Structure 1
Amino acid sequence: MERDVSVQEVMDREFVGVSESDDLRETAELMLDEEADSAVVMRGADPVGVVTERDALEAFVRAEGESADVSEAMTDSIPTVAPGMTIAEAADEMSALSTQRVLVSDGSELLGVLSEHDLMTASPFAPTADGPTSGGRERAVAGVSAGRGAAATEPGGEGRFTDQSLCEACGSLSRDLSPFNGQLLCADCRDI
């Protein structure tokens, strides 16, 4: 039996850190140089927010060429998870909070950042008892639904998927996937 993989094992320990008073343009340039999609906004040793590529772009468009500080663009609600949490639990938390990243903290110290990308690239493959594949074992991503047809084969499935999986349109983790026009879509993508 495979052990559960913890957040600490897959989180990104190297992250871009900036302060609230830093120039947003310089922060965006730093993010580009570091190939980071976000930066953690720090006040001393304490994280106080996150600024993402989208936050920076929105601030640039609204500022119309005027200079802006990171504090004007950052998101100040920053969900955190414990380093000992399993990646399945972290995925559930991120899905419930509708966020693409969380900070990993032991309570007193910021240890790293965990993103949806980290979860998907590091998810362990676990054997299941359902049907054979090459090598005689079925492979499934832990904490993610079996995919198409799972709801149809389960009693009471009624075309809905109960486990978390990826929306085929936007790629976000969701518990609310339904077949729509031949794809499994989250509620947001079905509404479009």
Structure 2
Amino acid sequence: MKRDASVREVMDREFVGVSEGDDLRETAELMLAEGVDSAVVLRGADPVGVVTERDALAALVGADGETPTAAEAMTDAVPTVSPEMTVAEAADELSAGSTQRALVSEGGEPLGMLTERDLLTASPFARTAADPAATDRERAVAGVTAGRGESASEPAADRGGESRFEDQSLCEACGSLSRELSTFNGQLLCPDCRDI
């Protein structure tokens, strides 16, 4: 990705929002069901805090009977970034705040979440597929066969008739094998799952 990419280009536009009075067990179950590691705590439409997996676990382990609410477990400070910030500026904000995630908001309205993973994916220092140190996942994202430098769309017949599965990987949503995976909202998805 280009060095001056904006937060809007790399953020996850979907986030889990809960109310202050929501039961923490239900909040944790929702986070598990949605496959996220945090939930934004809202007062009406205004974000007032964030409940992370760690916050929920600490509050539930320390509970003496009644289940705490999301407000009792949340971290009050909601780090926010603008969707127009560059990736480098957002990385500085997260680093300065010692946080792994920030709410992306514009005019007080929440638009999505930005995580360290989003920033790492967009980093100009991220490994390229041609880099020998790149992981299989990084090569799959780039559409390159693991360790061979060939295009993932190159037919097997062009490789001497070898029947290989090196240029396939699993879709993180449906689990099917695909040669056409691409990153969408932080996941490697096949064309069918991207269209949903």
Shorter-chain TM-score category?
A: 0.5 to 0.7
Contact 1:16 1:39 in 2 (8 A): yes
* 1:70 alignment counterpart: 70
* 1:108 alignment counterpart: 108
Alpha-carbon deviation of 1:67?
Answer: 1.2
* 2:84 alignment counterpart: 84
Where does structure 1 differ by over 3 angstroms across 4 or more consecutive aligned residues? Answer: none
Give the 5 Å matches for 1:177-192: none
Runs of 5+ unmatched residues, structure 2: 132-196
Query: Percent identity between the aligned chains?
Result: 73
Residue 67 of structure 1 aligns to a residue whose secondary structure is coil
* 2:5 alignment counterpart: 5
What TM-score comes out, normalization by structure 1 length?
Answer: 0.62
Counterpart AA for 1:37: D
Give the 5 Å matches for 1:39-188: 39-124=39-124
What TM-score comes out, normalization by structure 2 length?
Answer: 0.61
* 1:145 alignment counterpart: none
Distance 2:118 2:61 in 1: 29
* 2:19 alignment counterpart: 19
Residue 31 of structure 1 aligns to a residue whose secondary structure is helix
Counterpart AA for 2:77: S
Alpha-carbon deviation of 1:108?
Answer: 2.9
Distance 1:12 1:70 in 2: 22
Contact 1:5 1:124 in 2 (8 A): no
- Alignment root-mean-square deviation, CA: 2.3
Distance 2:123 2:64 in 1: 42
Runs of 5+ unmatched residues, structure 1: 127-133, 136-192
Alpha-carbon deviation of 1:125?
Answer: 5.1
How many positions carry a matched residue from both structures?
A: 130
Distance 1:108 1:66 in 2: 33
Counterpart AA for 1:8: R
Alpha-carbon deviation of 1:109?
Answer: 1.1
Contact 2:101 2:113 in 1 (8 A): yes
User: When you count strand as a share of all residues, which structure comes out higher?
Assistant: 1
Alpha-carbon deviation of 1:79?
Answer: 1.3
Alpha-carbon deviation of 1:61?
Answer: 1.0
